[in-house]
């Protein structure tokens, strides 16, 4: 396994103050760089898992962006739920890449920390919106 140093776009302190759309965009950029590394730099190039990771890891932010102008609370909830599901899928692929030794534990933990942060925020948003929808019925 080669070591990789992904570009750092935001510090931990900056991430603590970022909104979920900013966090997901920052995370997506790291995923794009990881995909590039996995398909060009690894001795046994990894295409299948990295393609799935790229799709799910960038879809988080895309769904959050779609939710910015919802047609209804239900539409907003749907997009945020999809973003949450994509974040959970991304977590799976990162753990798999780590455990199969395509990426280092250190790199995986850094990415997983960001992924868990996004999941926590999205889960909170989804819970609050569900409650809001329930209370308006």
For the purposes of burial, counting CB atoms within 10 Å of the CB of 60, is it exposed (0-12), middle (13-18) or buried (19 or more)?
buried
Cα dihedral 85, 14, 53, 2 sign: negative
Q: Per-residue pLDDT averaged across 57-61, rounded?
A: 98
Question: 12-135 domain in CATH 3.30.200.20?
Answer: no
Residue whose C-alpha is closest to residue 4's, from 115, 117, 98, 119: 98
pLDDT(2) > 60: no
Query: pLDDT, tens digit, for every residue of 61-78?
Result: 999 999 999 999 999 999
Cα gap 61→66, rounded to integer Å = 9
Greater confidence, 104 or 15? 104
Q: What is the pTM of this model?
A: 0.88
- Taking 60 as the threshold, does the pLDDT of residue 1 lie above it? no
**Strand stretches in the chain, DSSP E:** none
Q: Angle between the 20-40 and 105-135 helix axes, to the nearest 10 degrees?
A: 140
- What pLDDT is stored for residue 44 in this prediction? 72
Q: Give yes or no for residue 14 having a pLDDT over 80.
A: no
Q: Above 70 in pLDDT, residue 3?
A: no
- Judge whether 33 and 7 are in contact, CB under 8 Å: yes
Beta-carbon neighbour count of residue 39 at 10 Å?
A: 14
Which band of pLDDT confidence, cut at 50, 70 and 90, is reported for residue 131?
very high
Report whether 129 contacts 76 (CB < 8 A): yes
């Amino acid at each position: 396994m080669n070591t990789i140093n992904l570009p750092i776009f935001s510090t931990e302190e900056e991430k603590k103050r970022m909104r979920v759309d900013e966090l997901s965009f920052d995370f997506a950029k790291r995923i794009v760089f990881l995909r590039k590394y996995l398909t060009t730099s690894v001795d046994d190039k990894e295409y299948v898992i990295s393609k799935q990771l790229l799709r799910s890891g960038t879809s988080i932010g895309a769904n959050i962006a779609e939710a910015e102008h919802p047609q209804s609370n239900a539409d907003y909830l749907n997009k945020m739920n999809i973003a949450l599901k994509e974040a959970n899928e991304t977590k799976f692929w990162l753990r798999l890449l780590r455990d199969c030794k395509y990426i280092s534990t250190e790199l995986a933990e850094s990415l997983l920390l960001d992924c868990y942060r996004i999941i926590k925020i999205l889960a909170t948003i989804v819970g609050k919106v569900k409650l809001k929808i329930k209370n308006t019925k």
